Chains A and B, each alone.
Chain A
Amino acid sequence: MSLEKYWMLFVKSHVWIAILLCALMLIGCKSFDYLTKIENNFPVAETCGDCHIDIYKEWSQSAHARAFLSPDFKTITQDGSLADCIGCHTPEPQLTPTVPLPRTIYLKDGVTCSTCHLADGKMLGPVQPTGAIHPHPIEVAQNRFTDAAFCGRCHQGTYHQWQETSIKLKKTCQQCHMPSIVRKVTQSKGGISELIVSMEKQITLRKHTFMIYPQSEDQETFELHTAIEEKHIAVELINHLPHSFPTGNFGVQIGVMLVQFFDADNNELQTRRYEFVQELKTNLPSGQSKKWTWDMPQSAAKMKIQLLRHGHSKEKQVELLNREVPLP
C-alpha cells in the first residue's frame, strides 16, 4: 500500500477514538447548574458576563450596576442600611407586582442580571434562543420584557406618568432606553466558546445601557420652535417624551434650559437659565409645552439653545438638545 493509503487507514481506524474523546470532553465540561440556582450562591453579573460579554459591558457602565455602589446612594442611605430603599436598589429575582423584595447577598451588583432574567431556576429572555447549546435552561417570556410595567415596578413615578401619556407618544421604556442592535446574545473569548457562539444567529436585541440619550434623528424627543420678532424672541419647547421632563421620584433630577446670546464676534452677551424640577412642580409634563418670550439683547447675532439634564453633581450632565439659531 502507498504511504497515503496507510495514512488514511490510520486516520479511519482512529475515528472512533476521536468520537469517544469528544463525547468525554463534552460530558466533562463543567456543569452550568450554578447559573440558575438561587440558594447560597447566586449568579453574579460577572459570571453572566463570561458569555454575554457585550451585554455585561453595557450593563456594567449603566446606572443599574451603580445602584448600590453609587456614592450618593451610599451616603443618603447610610451604606444601604435604610430598609425602604434597598428593595429597588438591590432587588431579588422574584417577580412582584410592585416594588421588589430586597436581596441579602451580592449587594454590590445593584440591579443585576438575575433581577430581571432569573425565575424558577430558568433564565428568561424576550427572544427564542438561536444557539444549539444551552448551558442553562432558557424560557421565553416576550410579554414580560416588552412591557413598560416591568420597569415600572421600581420606576413607579415615571411609569405612572407614562400610563397617563397620550397613545401617540407612548413608546415603551425599552424602546428608547435600550436601543435596538443586531448581534448575537453571547460573544466568545476564543477556544471552545468560539465554537458554541458561532452556532448562534445574529438577531435584533436591545442594548443594556439604560441610558438617557441625546436627541437624534430617529428619536424626536423634544420639539423646539423659535419665533423671532423685531425686539422679542419667543421660544417654545414641546415635550414629546412619554413621561415628564425630568422624571423620577427619588434622587436629584434637574432639567435645564440654557439660552445664550452671542454677538457677531462670538462674545457672550446674555445667559438665561430655566430649571425644570419635578418637586417644585416646574417640570414639563408629557405632550405639553412651555413658552418664553424675552427681549432680544442688542447686537445679538446668534442664539444658542441647550437642553441639559443633570443629577446631584452639575458636572455629569447629558446634553439632550443643542441648537444654534442665527438672529437677524
Chain B
Amino acid sequence: MTQQKYRRFTPAEVVLHALQAIIYITLFLTGFILLLQRTFQIDWISPMSLSILHRIMGIVLIAFVLQVFFTSLITPSFRILWSTIVEALKWRPSDIIWLIKAPFHFLFHRISLPPSGKFNPGQKLNILVVLSTVTGMSLSGIFMLVVPGALLAWYIHIACFICGSILFAIHLYLSLVNPPTSKSITGMITGFVPLQYIRDHHPLCLDEPVPEKNHVHLHRLPAILLGIVVIIILLLGIYVFGPDRFVLQGQQWAQSRGMLSLMPGQLTLSHAEVITERECLKCHNLKSRPASEKCIECHEIIAERIQDSSGYHGKLTGPCTDCHTEHQGPDADIRSLDKVSFNHQQANFHLSEKHASLPCEKCHKVQLPELSMAKTTTKIRYIGIAHDTCLTCHKNFHQDSRTEECLKCHISNSWQREDLTFDHNRDSRFVLRGKHITLVCEKCHNTSSDSGDKLFRLYDFGMECKDCHTDPHAGQFEQKCNDCHSELDWTSPLKKSFHTVDSGFPLDGKHAALTCEKCHIPAKDDSRLSSAKFAGLDTKCRSCHEDPHNAQMSHSCSTCHSEQGWKGMNLLFSHNKHSVFQLDSLHAGLTCDACHINTPQATRYRPIEKHCELCHNAQTLAMQGIMPPKQKLFESDPHWGRLACIDCHDTNITHQSTENYAARCISCHNTLYGKLFYDWSKIFLEYNSKAASLLENDIIQQLNKIRFHNLQMAAPIWKDAINNNIKQTDSGTR
C-alpha cells in the first residue's frame, strides 16, 4: 500500500544533520574514551592520539558552524535553519504541560499529550540544549587550548558533556529504538516521512482538524529490553576489568570527588604524598594557568633564589610550568634535568674547570628524608647543598694548622702556582725580588714529612744569601754581596752603581752599553764572568780599539771621538773647523759616505777630490710613479710637473723640520693636510722600525726615498716589502 509522503526536512537540513552527526559522534567518542581511560586508569588507546583527534574535530566543528552561519546569510535554501531556531524559541504554556506529561505518557498509555507543531517541545528543548552545548563546548575547548591548566574550562566542558550526553542518549533512543518514533528516521535520510506519522505526532503542521485523542500505541517492551542489554554490557565490562580493581578505583574516584577523571596523569610521588586528589587548587587556578606563586609556597629555597635573583632559578623568567610538567605519573622526575647540557655556571656555585669535570654524583648525594616534606621519597638533592669547605674532599699538603683556610691562597680551579691568590711579597716575610721571582716554589719549599709523604713546608726558613749561594769571587770582595749585587740578576745593576762610582774607569756613552765580558775576560777553565779579573786593567783607547783610519789622523782619538759613539752627532769632528773643506748648508746635511768612499784599507778621509755628482734619481723617478729600473707601475704624484723641488725642500737650512714641511702643505691645501703630513710621518717611522729587523739597510734606504714624493706609491710598496720579507724570514732564509 503506497503511503502518502510528507516532506519533513529539506535536503540542506538532511545533509547538515548528517555532517553534524559525524562530528558530534567523533567528539563524543574520543572525549568519552579519554574520560573513561583517565577515570579507570586504563591504557587502551593512546591518549595523545585521542586528544589530537578530539582537538582537530573541535576546530572542524567551529569552522563548520561558522561556514553554515555565513552561508545561511546569503543563500535562501539555508534560511530554513533560522526558522528552526525561531521555532525552538517559541514556547507556550501548553509546551510546559507537554514536558511535564511526556514521561508519564511514556509509562501510561492513557495520558495524552497536547498537539505539537513541526517540533514537539521535547525536540525544541533538544535544539536549544544542542545550541548551548555546542557553544559551551567550543568556547571551553578554545579556553583549554589557550590557557592550559585552567580548571574552569574543564568544569564547563564536563558539565556540557553531561547535559549533552543525556540528551544525546534520549535522541538516539527515540530515533532508533522506540517504535512509534523510529518511523520518522526516513525524515533525516530522504527528507520524507509517512503522512500518517505527521497526523499522529505533529498535527498542527497540516491543515486538517486536530483529532481529540491521538492513537499512538506505546511499546514498553523495546525500552525494557534495551535496559537489560545495557546492564549486561556494564556487568561484563566490570567483570573483564576486575571487580576489586573497579571497587578500588571507585573509592579513589569518590575520594577525589571526581577530579581523578580530569587529571591527564598521576602526580609525581613527592607531590602525591603532600597533595591529595581533591586539592587541585593548590596548584591550579580556575581561569588562568597554574601560577608560580603556588609552587613557591612550598618550595621555599626556590622562592629565596627567585627573590635574590641568585642561582639557576633566580635568573629564569616565566612560569614554573614552562619547564616542569606534572601529571606524568608517580615515577616521573619532573625536574627535567639534562646532566649533559645543564650549564652549572648559572647556579650559585661556580664550577671551576676542575670541578666541572667531575661527575654530578661526587657532590650531589641523595636527599636526606628529614629535609623534605615528602617523607618516603629519596631523590638526589641539587639545590641548597653546602659548598664552602674544601677539606671535606682535599688533603692538606702543608700539614700545618696555620693553613686550614685553603681559599686564602688557592682558587678552586687549580693548585698550580700561576693560579695562587697568594702573593709572596705581600703575604710572607721574605720579599721575592728579581730572579727569586722566577724560581719554582719547590726550589725552596720542598721537604718530606716524617712519614715520607711529599710535604710542602711553608714556614720557618733562613733568609741570608749564604744560606743558598756560594762566593765565586774567592773572597776578592769579602762577603758583602749586597754592595754590588741584587736579586734582579748577578750582573745587571753592576755597571750603574759599581763601575762609575767604585772603580777608576767611568763607563760613559757606549762603554756603558757593553757587556762585562768584553773587558773583564773570564778565566779559561771557568767560563763564568765572576771568575774574571776585575781590578788593575789598562784604560787607554788603544788597549781595546784598533785604529781604522790607518794613521790618517792624529793619535789623539778624543779630538773627534767620545765614548758616546763613533759617528753621527757623537762625532766631535767639525768639518769646517778640522778640515780644509767648508761645507755649505746642503752639504752639511749629507752623510759622510756620500763623499768619503770606502777603500780596502780604510775609509778615505784625506785627501779627496771634490766629487759633487749628486744624483737624486730615485726621488724624481718615484714622483713619476716609476720603480727602478724603468717600470711605470703607479700614477704620477699630483705634485710632479706642477711644483719644483725647492717649493718643498729648503736648501738654506739643514734638518728641515716636520713642522716646516707641514706648513708648506697647509699653505696650498688646508690644515687637515698638515695633519695628514704628521700622521704619515709617524706611519713611516713605524714602518722603518718594523723594517729595521726584517729588511736589508739599502732596501730601507730605497724605500725611504719614495715617502712623500709619491704617497700613493710609497704606501703599498712599504706594506709589500714588510709583508713579503716577513714571509721570507719565517721560512728560515734569514
Using CB atoms and an 8 Å cutoff, list the residues of chain A in contact with chain B.
1, 9, 12-13, 16, 72, 75-76, 78, 82, 84-85, 157, 249-250, 252, 254, 275, 277, 279-280, 312-314
Contacts and interface: CB of A to CB of B under 8 A. Distances in A.
6 closest Cβ pairs, A-B complex = A13-B71, A279-B668, A75-B715, A252-B638, A12-B74, A82-B679
Interface in B620-672: 635, 638, 642, 668-670, 672
B346 interface: no
A13 B74 contact: yes
A312 B710 CA distance: 12
B67 interface: yes
Contact of B669 (A78, A249, A312, A313): A249
A200 to B, nearest CB: 35
A254 B639 CA distance: 11
Contacts of B66: 16
B344 interface: no
A249 B674 CA distance: 13
B318 interface: no
B520 to A, nearest CB: 49
A230 B253 CA distance: 127
B74 A280 contact: no
Given A13-B70, A76-B711, A312-B638, 5 more contacts: A75-B716, A82-B679, A85-B672, A252-B638, A279-B668
17 contacts: A9-B71, A9-B75, A16-B70, A76-B676, A76-B711, A78-B679, A78-B683, A82-B676, A84-B672, A84-B676, A85-B672, A249-B669, A249-B670, A250-B672, A280-B668, A312-B638, A314-B635
B712 interface: yes
A275 B67 CA distance: 83
B675 interface: yes
Contacts of A277: 642
B675 A84 contact: yes
Given A9-B74, A9-B75, A76 B712 contact: yes
Contacts of B638: 252, 254, 312
A314 B635 CA distance: 8
Interface in B673-695: 675-676, 679, 683
B72 to A, nearest CB: 9
A275 B668 CA distance: 16
B267 to A, nearest CB: 40
Contacts of A13: 67, 70-71, 74-75
Given A13-B70, A82-B679, A312 B712 contact: yes
A95 B93 CA distance: 82
A312 to B, nearest CB: 6
Contact of B712 (A9, A72, A157): A72
A9 B68 CA distance: 12
B668 A75 contact: no
A75 B711 contact: yes
Contacts of A249: 669-670, 672
A70 to B, nearest CB: 12
Best-surrounded residue of A75, A85, A254 (most CB of chain B within 10 A): A75
A234 B352 CA distance: 89
A13 B72 CA distance: 9
B679 to A, nearest CB: 5
Nearest to A9: B75
Contacts of B668: 279-280
Nearest to B675: A84
Nearest to A74: B715
Nearest to A275: B642
B634 to A, nearest CB: 10
Contacts of B715: 75-76, 78
A78 B679 CA distance: 10
A308 to B, nearest CB: 16
B665 to A, nearest CB: 10
A9 B679 CA distance: 81
A176 to B, nearest CB: 24
Nearest to B672: A84
Nearest to A156: B670
A222 B489 CA distance: 80
B635 A313 contact: yes
Nearest to B715: A75
B635 A312 contact: yes
A254 B711 CA distance: 18
Nearest to A254: B638
Contacts of B716: 75
Contacts of A82: 676, 679
A24 to B, nearest CB: 15
Interface string B47-82: 000000000000000000011001100110100000
A9 B75 CA distance: 7
A12 B75 CA distance: 9
A134 B132 CA distance: 45
A1 B66 CA distance: 23
